[in-house]
Structure 1
Amino acid sequence: MRVTHQLPNIFTAVRLAATVPLVRHIRGGRTGLATSVGVALWAATDWVDGALARRMHWESKVGQALDPLADRAGISAIAWTLASVGEIPRRVPITVLVVDVATALLTSKAAYRGHLSVSYLGKVRSAILFVALVMAASGPRKRGRLGRLPHALADLGAVLHIAVGVGYIRTAHKGDGRGHWTH
């Protein structure tokens, strides 16, 4: 496989690796425009890797496994860190973590067999969470009139995260009643 075919996976790997310095930066109490731009660039790699993979037909098993891992790990880590410095409610990362663990436990067989795919609501949820994280990373002084909007968006993202998780779990357990897939 040519290197160009690996570009989506490279963007995903960069997103995963960039999570650590972003979290350290935020944990140091540094929020503001630079942090917000960093989180926005981090989030943008999710769109870039997906667009490249779909449009160029560069999908891969590695990407199908790595992309959701990078999303879940990054969203969780950045949300936890922003909650720890008071930029979003703690209930958001707690909800994300609980739903992610439950979904992973209850859908792993179906996911491994390729019976799950990303839902439209899942994409909307991710976009809302990404926007909330970017806004929260700007810090309270930079938000001005937007004030608590990142909190509201993060809460909305958490509610949608529950709905998406339930949808994946329901899809994973649609079978012939004995856990066998009929198609």
Structure 2
Amino acid sequence: MTGERSWATLPNAITLLRLLLVVPIVVLLVEGEQPVLTVVLLVIFGASDWIDGTLARLLGQVSSFGKLFDPLADRVGVVAIVLAMIVAGLLPAWTAIAIPGVELVLLVVYAVARPARVPEASLLGKARTAVMMTGIAAVGFGILPGLGWLGDIGRWITAVGVVMHVVVGVDYFRLMVAGPRRPRPRP
């Protein structure tokens, strides 16, 4: 199956599962009462990002739906999980400015500049996502008894991911502003 024939594929189902996992992960992080379940869901969230894309390519099921919702699930999930980790005292507050701030700027630029297409994920963008997912998972593991040191490492990894997030955001900004535009609708 290629491209546009169907959105009902295994990779797209995994992407939707990742998006649906955000709510219980956020609730569990804020409540802080079930650390093992929290970590399991964080690992599933992070791993599903790699699994859905790999399966889509292997099964020939790359779709427009997946191209849109995979990065959307990543961004919504990472922003929500990072904010929940800040509320829970697991990450520093400055990450709440950097991560959603970049996403907000890109959303405004997209609306104003009206690029002909959304820039495709760059290699650095994919690396950023992997670093962020790894950092977030390590912070999650740090809530387990005896693994606080792993949370400390996770905070450093997440900080590197945040810097990468800003760099990737600047690159996407440049591509959207410099690229071809969609025509404005006439009233």
Pick one of 157, 164, 177 that aligns with 1:153: 157
1:162 is aligned to 166
The offset of 1:91, in angstroms, is 1.2
Contact 1:122 1:164 in 2 (8 A): yes
> 2: CA distance between counterparts of 1:77 and 1:6?
26
Gaps of 5+ in 2: 183-187
Cα distance, 1:114–1:52 mapped onto 2, change above 3 Å? farther
Pick one of 73, 82, 86 that aligns with 2:89: 86
2:21 is aligned to 18
Q: Which has the higher contact order (CA 8 A, sep 6+)?
A: 1
> 2: CA distance between counterparts of 1:63 and 1:145?
36
Question: Normalised by the size of structure 2, how large is the TM-score?
Answer: 0.84
Deviation >2 Å, runs of 4+: 1-5, 30-34, 107-110, 140-147
Gaps of 5+ in 1: none
CA deviations on 1:73-105 (whole Å, 9 max, x unpaired) are: 100111110111111112113211000111122
Report how many aligned residue pairs link the two structures.
Answer: 176
Moved more, 73-82 or 53-62: 53-62
Cα distance, 1:45–1:169 mapped onto 2, change above 3 Å? same
Look up the SS of the partner of 1:90 in the other structure: coil
1:9 is aligned to 12
Identical aligned residues as a percent: 31
Q: Aligned letter for 2:67?
A: Q
> 2: CA distance between counterparts of 1:148 and 1:140?
12
2:176 is aligned to 172
> 1: CA distance between counterparts of 2:82 and 2:30?
11
**RMSD after superposition:** 2.3
Contact 1:33 1:142 in 2 (8 A): no
Q: Which runs of structure 2 are paired with 1:1-183 in the superposition (5 Å)? A: 6-30=9-33, 32-107=35-110, 109-110=114-115, 113-114=116-117, 116-138=119-141, 139=143, 141-146=145-150, 148-175=152-179, 180=181
Cα distance, 1:107–1:4 mapped onto 2, change above 3 Å? closer
> 2: CA distance between counterparts of 1:95 and 1:140?
27
Question: Normalised by the size of structure 1, how large is the TM-score?
Answer: 0.86
